[in-house]
Structure 1
Amino acid sequence: MSTEIITSAEAKHEIDKIVSENKFVLFTATWCPDCVYVKKILEEHNILEKFYVWELSRYEKGTSNFKTYTSAWFAKAEGQQNIPLLFIDGLYFGTEHQIKSWEAAGKLQEQFEKLGLF
């Protein structure tokens, strides 16, 4: 656990850099059931390794850095207030709701192919 307090500007710069430099980005936390679900689906399709995974659980809930990073994430995701957050080609793509809708429709493989994950 880091004890250095990050500023909002530093967090925003870091998040912008991660999203712009990686084709696929997943902002996640180990304690989040929806995040666990998305990681499980990506693992089952052998594509999790294609994602830059940023794990919020390195910070304790309620700490300054936790709050600063979640604010930066949600701002980058156009005001979204839940995790996980998926970014593709530098743009906010969605949360677990997108993955669940594809799964319910039996279109996971097809949609992952369209995104260039295979």
Structure 2
Amino acid sequence: MSTVADYELKAKELISSNKFFQLIANWCPDCQYTNSILTKFDVLQRFKTLDIGDLPKDEQETWRVAFKNVTGSRNLPTIFIDGRIWATETEIHNCEDGNVLPAKFKEAGLL
């Protein structure tokens, strides 16, 4: 049986080994919104995605605790670029509302 420490190691590996990474759950409306934006800009395929939505509830929680311990965030979704938190749905909404998403995506190397 895996421990939280095992999940923390896996979380670190996922973040560090993928330039573009996101933590999501398929049942999460904010994740669905964020994926729709990434799809709209044709960049979703550039992301390695860990979708915890179909895992047992206790395993979902263990993943979220592990990400909180490693990054300080357990938010769904959380987008990481170059090993750092780049955005959650709040930042995506703000960038969309401010009409700056294309510039932000270009700056991040997505466009």
* Structure-1-length-normalised TM-score: 0.88
| Matching residue within 10, 15, 19 for 2:11 | 15
Q: Which residue of 2 aligns with 1:60?
A: 56
Question: Unaligned 5+ residue runs, structure 1?
Answer: none
**1:24-61 alpha-carbon deviations (Å, 9 max, x no partner):** 11100011000000000001110001111100113132
RMSD (Å) for aligned C-alpha atoms = 1.2
Q: Which residue of 1 aligns with 2:20?
A: 24
Question: Unaligned 5+ residue runs, structure 2?
Answer: none
1:114 equivalenced with 2:107 (yes/no): yes
1:37 equivalenced with 2:33 (yes/no): yes
Query: Could you tell me how far 1:92 is from its partner in structure 2?
Result: 1.6
What is the letter of the counterpart of residue 26 of structure 2? T
Contact 1:6 1:68 in 2 (8 A): no
Q: Which residue of 2 aligns with 1:105?
A: 98
Q: Percent identity among equivalent residues?
A: 31
Residue range with higher mean Cα deviation, 68-77 or 31-40: 68-77
Query: Could you tell me how far 1:67 is from its partner in structure 2?
Result: 1.9
Distance across 2 between alignment mates of 1:10 and 1:58: 20
What is the letter of the counterpart of residue 68 of structure 1? T
C-alpha spacing 1:110/1:86, structure 2 compared with 1 (3 Å): same
1:72 equivalenced with 2:66 (yes/no): yes
Distance across 1 between alignment mates of 2:6 and 2:38: 29
Distance across 2 between alignment mates of 1:99 and 1:31: 19
Query: Could you tell me how far 1:6 is from its partner in structure 2?
Result: 2.4
C-alpha spacing 1:15/1:81, structure 2 compared with 1 (3 Å): closer
